[in-house]
Amino acid sequence: MNRRHAQPGPHRPADASMTLINETYRRPLDPGYQEVADRRRAGTAPRRTRRGGAALLVLAVALGAFASSAASALRRPPPAVLEARALLEAEIRERTDRAEALRDENARLSAEIAALQTAAASSEDPALLAQLQQDAVPGGRVPVSGPGLRIVLTDWVPGPGEEENPDNRVQDGDLQLLANGLWAAGAEAVAINGARLTSTTAIRGAGAAVLVDMRPLGSPYTVEAVGDPSGLQTGLARGTAGQRLASLRQQFRIGVQVTVQERLELPAAGSPTLRSARVLGDPDATTASGSAPAPGRRGTAAGRGTAAESLGPVTEDVAVSGRPDGGERS
Q: Tell me the per-residue pLDDT of 18-39, one tens digit each, with 9 for 90 and over.
A: 677 777 767 666 777 777 777 7
258: β partners: 151
125, 147, 179: which is the final residue of a domain? 125
Measured CA to CA, the distance from residue 23 to residue 46 in angstroms comes to 28
Q: What is the mean pLDDT of residues 86-90?
A: 89
Instruction: Find out whether 206 and 163 touch, Cβ atoms under 8 Å.
Output: no
Position 4 in a domain? no
pLDDT for 299 equals 33
pLDDT confidence band for 308 (50 / 70 / 90): very low
Measured CA to CA, the distance from residue 206 to residue 238 in angstroms comes to 30
pLDDT for 48 equals 57
pLDDT confidence band for 52 (50 / 70 / 90): low
Instruction: Find out whether 174 and 153 touch, Cβ atoms under 8 Å.
Output: yes
Position 96 in a domain? yes
Q: What is the mean pLDDT of the chain?
A: 75
Domain match, 176 and 292 both: yes
pLDDT for 191 equals 94
Highest mean pLDDT, choosing among 40-44, 47-51, 135-139, 302-306: 135-139
125, 155, 186: which is the final residue of a domain? 125
125, 152, 179: which is the final residue of a domain? 125
Domain match, 224 and 301 both: yes
pLDDT confidence band for 92 (50 / 70 / 90): very high
CA 267 to chain centre: 20
Measured CA to CA, the distance from residue 199 to residue 148 in angstroms comes to 20
Residue with the larger pLDDT of the pair 49 and 34: 34
Residue 49, sorted as left (phi over 0), alpha (psi -120 to 50) or beta, turns out to be beta
Position 64 in a domain? no
Alpha carbon distances (Å) from 275 to 46, 286, 314, 316: 99, 11, 20, 20
pLDDT at 149 over 50: yes
pLDDT for 307 equals 28
Query: For the chain, how many structural domains are there in total?
Result: 2
Short-list 42, 93, 315, 62, CA closest to 189: 315
Q: What is the CATH number of the domain that holds 328?
A: 3.30.70.1880
Instruction: Find out whether 270 and 107 touch, Cβ atoms under 8 Å.
Output: no
pLDDT confidence band for 171 (50 / 70 / 90): very high
Q: What are phi and psi of 112, to 5 degrees?
A: -65, -40
Measured CA to CA, the distance from residue 145 to residue 136 in angstroms comes to 14
Q: What is the mean pLDDT of residues 153-158?
A: 91
Each residue of 203-261: pLDDT tens digit? 998 877 899 988 889 889 999 999 999 999 999 999 999 999 999 999 999 999 999 99
Domain match, 228 and 96 both: no
Position 27 in a domain? no
Domain match, 216 and 278 both: yes
Peptide bond preceding 143: is omega within 30 degrees of 0, i.e. cis? no
Residue with the larger pLDDT of the pair 289 and 145: 145
String of b and e for 206-228 (b: at least 16 CB within 10 Å)?
A: eeeebbbbeeebebebebbbbbb
pLDDT for 180 equals 94
Percentage of the chain exceeding pLDDT 70: 72
Domain match, 117 and 145 both: no
Domain match, 100 and 203 both: no
Each residue of 249-266: pLDDT tens digit? 999 999 999 999 999 999
Domain range for 197: 137-330
pLDDT at 284 over 50: yes
Domain match, 119 and 171 both: no
pLDDT for 60 equals 85
Domain match, 106 and 181 both: no
pLDDT for 155 equals 92
Domain match, 173 and 320 both: yes
Highest mean pLDDT, choosing among 63-67, 113-117, 210-214: 210-214
Position 65 in a domain? no
Contacts of residue 227, defined as CB under 8 A and 6 or more positions apart, other chains included, come to 146, 147, 148, 149, 182, 185, 186, 187, 188, 189
Position 30 in a domain? no
Highest mean pLDDT, choosing among 104-108, 239-243, 265-269: 239-243
Domain match, 247 and 163 both: yes
DSSP for 129-175? HHHHHHHHTTTT-S-EEEEEEEEEEEPPPP-TTPPP-GGGS--HHHH
pLDDT for 29 equals 65
Domain match, 101 and 145 both: no
Domain match, 150 and 253 both: yes
Position 321 in a domain? yes
- DSSP reduced 3-state for 9: coil
- Helix (H), strand (E) at residue 190: strand 189-192
